[in-house]
Amino acid sequence: MEQGTPAEIVEIIKRTGVHGEIVQVLCKILEGRDQGRVKRRNIKGNTQIGDVVILLSTEREAKELKTR
């Protein structure tokens, strides 16, 4: 089983999803090949700045949300 990569949430961008259950955030990668980079990710559940999440893949990045 592959280990995940820890990332710290540095900014909460916006809530998305049909009911607002998904939060788009900027995460700073703490370990591994992409250490120090900041990536945009979608996270489901309660989150706040400073939380550490485990990313299974650091290669993917979420698309920027566009407002109508």
Taking only the tens place, the pLDDT of each residue in 17-45 is: 888 899 999 999 999 888 999 999 999 98
Alpha-carbon distance 1 to 24, whole Å? 27
Alpha-carbon distance 41 to 25, whole Å? 6
The answer on pLDDT for 67 being more than 90 is no
| Residue 62: inside a domain | no
Q: What local confidence, expressed as pLDDT, does residue 2 receive?
A: 66
32: CB partners within 8 A, 6+ apart: 5, 58
Q: What local confidence, expressed as pLDDT, does residue 11 receive?
A: 95
Question: How far, in whole angstroms, is CA 36 from its chain's centroid?
Answer: 14
- 31 phi/psi in degrees, rounded to 5: -140, 165
Domain that holds residue 23: 5-55
Share of the chain above pLDDT 90, in %: 59
| Residue 66: inside a domain | no
Alpha-carbon distance 5 to 55, whole Å? 5
Q: How many domains does the chain have?
A: 1
CATH, residue 42: 2.40.50.140
pTM (2 d.p.): 0.83
| Residue 37: inside a domain | yes
| Residue 67: inside a domain | no
| Residue 60: inside a domain | no
